[in-house]
Amino acid sequence: MRIIPAIDIIDGKCVRLSKGDYTTKKIYNENPLEVAKEFETHGIEYLHLVDLDGAKSKHIVNHKVLEQIASKTSLKIDFGGGLKSDSDLRIAFESGANQITGGSIAVKNRDMFASWLLKFGADKIILGADALDEKIAVSGWLEESREELVPFIQEYQKQGVSYVICTDISKDGMLEGPSFELYSKILASSGKGLKLIASGGISTFNELPKLAEIGCEGTIIGKAIYENRISMKQLEEFILNK
């Protein structure tokens, strides 16, 4: 299972929110590149970079931060937040993203998301399936849609999606543990080849082997790292012992 630390960006700074609520913003570092380099020194290979300004503005905003991290580290970056147009995607990939995550766009403009899959391939496009009470949420989690989580993922699998990041919003930033049952349900009801990336609520190191056992392909860890609930040394050992 891949370990994927998260850096969420507001005003060019590394922040974390609770349950996606912008009023709960806590700044952890003024310099995201510094944070990314620290991850890299501990054997981390992947990074989940979220443009929270972009999610709110509905277009890419913090591509300069992406460009800086991509050009000054060797981290493989998946980038999301506010990607709504072909132009946004072009900027993201030109700025160094290895993959992009599309969430709201996959609900609100299915044709465009499907065209991205065709143009760039399933290895480059991640479906962002963020949910509250198993209903898909959109627009930086400021809106809930009527889309049911599991059928939503199944439908996109038929169109060729292989990577899915699923965040249980009720768990995100709360340090109360991830949604093991939800991830098990998704994997049990999805076709072969689904690469499910768990996100939200990771709070202790012991949860990681359990997510791997369920069959998650990766896990995104944010606040647990920043609040020192999980040490970089533990993550380093987990990666070495895979």
Provide the annotated active-site residues. 8, 130
Question: 19: which residues sit within 8 A by CB, 6+ positions away?
Answer: 141, 169, 170, 172, 173, 174
Residue 76 identity (one-letter amino acid): K
Residue 92 identity (one-letter amino acid): A
Alpha-carbon distance 214 to 117, whole Å?
27
Closest CA to 165 of 67, 66, 79: 79
CB atoms within 10 A of CB 208: 22
Question: 26: which residues sit within 8 A by CB, 6+ positions away?
Answer: 15, 16, 17
211: left (phi over 0), alpha (psi -120 to 50) or beta: alpha
Residue 78 identity (one-letter amino acid): D
- How is residue 188 written in tokens? 């049990």
| Cα–Cα distance list, 186 to 18, 47, 225 (Å) | 24, 23, 26
- How is residue 71 written in tokens? 């050009």
Tell me the sheet residues that pair with 2.
218
